[in-house]
Structure 1
Amino acid sequence: MSRTPQEIFESYVHAGAMTRNADALAENFTEDGVFEAPLMPADAPFPRRLVGREEIRAAMAAYYERQAKGDGRRPNIAKSGYVLHTTADPEVFIAEIDTVFDGDGDSGGEDVVVSLVQIFRVRDGKIARLRDYFAPALMS
């Protein structure tokens, strides 16, 4: 069963940013799916390139575990927003995202807005390749 770009994107965001469920996140990818964060330095805690559903599952589970020991902040969905852009290629869509985290002591009480772009290539309703472009310092 094929899913729409909206359904694919919402499932990916729910599994990752919202619930940090590596199993659910990995299931959004094809078996040979590729996840890339091209702007991420090679030694960063956030993975730069993962190939295959099982590598995505394992690496993201480890990342989420490390992240849980940190501040544990999650996006404020009511304040965040996104726009999906379809392309001439029916297997490619782009997500333009502004994620808002509620302000805390570190931000002087100001909300923190993280803007990013994700390029999705899909096959049979699953993510075959995802390129996630964001500022690397945001993931430290």
Structure 2
Amino acid sequence: MSKSPQEIFQKYVYAGSLTRNAAAVAECFTPDGVFEAPLVPVGAVFPRRMEGREEIRAALAAYYERQPPGGRMPNLEKTGYVLHTTSDPDVFIAEIDTVFDGDDGGPDETVSLVRIFRVRDGKIARLRDYFAPEQVG
């Protein structure tokens, strides 16, 4: 039985945004999977394009290691998302509003993004992640 968009999305978010586990993120992808962040400038700290499970694992591990310990985590009670299925059963879109609590009682910060997933056999074959590049340091 194949995985639903909801299951694929939740597993991916848990592996990446919540636990920052590069190996678990890579396992969400097919062996030849592609991760693209088209809005990230060439040469930025966050990789613009990663091809293959091993490159995804290595590049994200290096990125996560550069993040400060105990970095900002999303407030899951305030964060929301909507999944959209398409006429292609292997493609779905996630609209996400990630909310981070304000520092020292300041206002919350909402980071909005869109991810387009193309799946094959229950794994991500291609992910296009559209977010503001200044959000990844």
Normalised by the shorter chain, which TM-score bucket? over 0.9
Q: Distance in 1 between matches of 2:63 and 2:30?
A: 20
Q: How does 1:22-41 map to 2 (within 5 A)?
A: 22-41=22-41
Does the residue aligned with 2:71 lie in a helix, a strand or coil? coil
Shift of 1:125: 0.2
Shift of 1:2: 1.5
Q: How does 1:1-140 map to 2 (within 5 A)?
A: 1-69=1-69, 72-105=71-104, 109-140=106-137
Shift of 1:81: 0.4
> Which deviations, in whole Å up to 9, do the C-alpha atoms of 1:20-73 show, x marking residues without a partner?
00111100000000000000001111110000000000000111111135x611
Moved over 6 A (4+): none
Shift of 1:103: 0.5
> Which deviations, in whole Å up to 9, do the C-alpha atoms of 1:81-116 show, x marking residues without a partner?
0000000000000000000011015xx711110000
Q: Distance in 2 between matches of 1:125 and 1:64?
A: 25
Q: Which amino acid is the alignment partner of residue 79 of structure 1? A: K
Q: Distance in 1 between matches of 2:99 and 2:66?
A: 21
Does the residue aligned with 1:68 lie in a helix, a strand or coil? coil
| Structure 1 unaligned blocks of 5 or more | none
Q: Which amino acid is the alignment partner of residue 28 of structure 1? A: C
